[in-house]
Amino acid sequence: MHSESVIKIFPEVGKVKSYNRQWSEDLGVPITWIEDAAHNSNDDNPEAVNKAIELFLDRINED
């Protein structure tokens, strides 16, 4: 799996953060953390999610 072709977006809540931090380290895949969001990040903070997706698409389209 190429880390540059994966986007993982998670809220900064509870055990989700620790589980996914470990997953990210194990696989070498970066995570985008969404502040002020719970389990429905795209509804809780749509601006941050949209920005994360936009930056991801810009990055993979550079290649």
CA angle 45, 40, 54 (to 5 degrees): 50
With a cut of 80, say whether residue 13 has pLDDT above it: no
- Which one-letter DSSP state was computed for residue 62? T
Look-up of token digits 């810009």: 58
What is the rounded CA–CA span in Å between residue 62 and residue 56? 10
Structure pTM?
A: 0.73
> What digits encode the pLDDT tens for the residues 16-53?
778 888 888 898 888 888 888 888 889 999 999 999 99
